[in-house]
Chain A
């Protein structure tokens, strides 16, 4: 074991609960993670001791709330290796961060015939904003294909990214296949053609060390709720100079400097992109999640997940008729394992597993085009985090066995 799992588990009150009379086995961490007591306490602390609106009060509470809110911005910058807190924009989630780029950078930059390149393994939130942007600007959406093991086909990357490319938008870690994409290499190629790169880091930043300056990425989007933090907080990172070139996103209070009925001028970045009263409580509490992960060390988090995934793949492959999708080598993938059992539909499997206390995701994982590529309608997905341990896989395997007994056609049982 990389770290003391029982000590970690004691920090997460929800892990003490039972589901259908069985201990909760929470394997749906790619959807959202559970929260440690320190994050829950931080929320309570905000509301019970310094609740106030920020950037506009001259009283003590407003000053304290502003300080704590801005201190979180600095913690985020430190966590991802950004050069300054001014590169960090708070949004609601990854999806909003991506939409912000499509709106504020894409609309003024793209022209008819320009190309936006995405990959076949993107989440809907890294597909649909670009479709809309292509519609409004006349740009063209191109898709990087994947190989049989769920990796990007580098030959295709090299031939698709070219002079017409203005943006490459790609996930650093697939939420279905677990594939880890070579972002630094993609950035080099894209930059050599003058194209920008947006990294969907919703699955990577919570699970592995990521340094945005090392990657040289132009835009990086992720969500607090997938890394121990509260829901309702997303992050967009971009170099300050790039943020300054961009148009405002939402308009209203906070994002302005001066307003008259004739015209208005904008606040400095990053506040230019944070119109209205932001999610102060959740941003402040996000700080506690970053502290928790930093204390564990992201290298350790990654090492633990490789162990979990290796064990899960081993246990699953021992079961008859299980298909596992994505890279074969646990070192090449994040903490998610998507699989199917025979022709048992994932929703049936998910319902039976739930009876065993095991929470997994079943469905298309907001990646319908990828389901098409894999030629399945849906998959089951187990995804892990710092508080999961190998023995929990027993409940998963038991549940799958139970489902197989229930749903398998009689001719095939005992065969």
Chain B
């Protein structure tokens, strides 16, 4: 049989950076004394994520991400954690908005602010996988809102 010819779209979905974050996730050790625990769950795929946050002076001081699910959902959480530590809620919401918009526009450009998250651009061409990429971001936003309202735990179903 002929060897498979990986199509450009396939390579764009599984960019090396995404695979790297999936195989070796960052900030993976759950924080032991979080201010907020936010869980996200997508019953359709079975993706699960948990984000733990601590805050100081209105900004995210530390964040841990773990869960189980496909490479896209887990790599998204890992890359997000690198990017948002040290940022305040407004800055994070702006990033999340940019990311969600990028996921909706298969032919769009990745905005500069998103940095390495540009790796996810190819996911927009796989509509069935977009929710995998956005789950961690939506869960993070829930966590921020929960903190602003004085709560400590929140769970979302996509």
Q: A22-B2, A408-B23, A410-B24 are in contact. Are A351 and B10 (CB under 8 A)?
A: yes
Contact of B70 with A by CB under 8 A: yes
13 contacts between A and B (CB under 8 A): A22-B2, A23-B1, A347-B129, A348-B71, A351-B13, A351-B14, A355-B7, A364-B43, A364-B44, A364-B46, A377-B68, A378-B45, A406-B14
Interface residues on A, range: 20 to 34
Q: A347-B129, A377-B68 are in contact. Are A410 and B23 (CB under 8 A)?
A: yes
B3 CB to closest chain A CB (Å) equals 9
- B70: chain A residues at CB < 8 Å are 345, 347-348
Q: A351-B13, A368-B43, A408-B23 are in contact. Are A22 and B71 (CB under 8 A)?
A: no
Interface size on B, residues (CB 8 A): 28
Interface residues of A (CB under 8 A from B): 20-23, 343, 345, 347-348, 351, 355-357, 363-364, 368, 371, 376-378, 394-395, 398, 402, 406-410
CA distance A122 to B4 in the complex (A): 37
CA distance A20 to B1 in the complex (A): 13
Further 10 A-B residue pairs, CB within 8 A, beyond A22-B2, A407-B22: A23-B1, A345-B47, A345-B69, A348-B72, A351-B129, A356-B4, A364-B43, A376-B46, A377-B48, A394-B1
A331 CB to closest chain B CB (Å) equals 31
Of B4, B13, B24, B72, chain A has the most CB atoms within 10 Å of the CB of: B4
Interface residues of B (CB under 8 A from A): 1-2, 4-7, 10, 13-14, 19, 22-24, 43-48, 68-72, 126, 128-129, 132
Q: A22-B1, A22-B4 are in contact. Are A407 and B44 (CB under 8 A)?
A: no
Of A21, A394, A410, chain B has the most CB atoms within 10 Å of the CB of: A21
Q: A347-B45, A347-B132, A377-B46 are in contact. Are A357 and B22 (CB under 8 A)?
A: no
Q: A347-B70, A377-B68, A407-B19 are in contact. Are A21 and B4 (CB under 8 A)?
A: yes
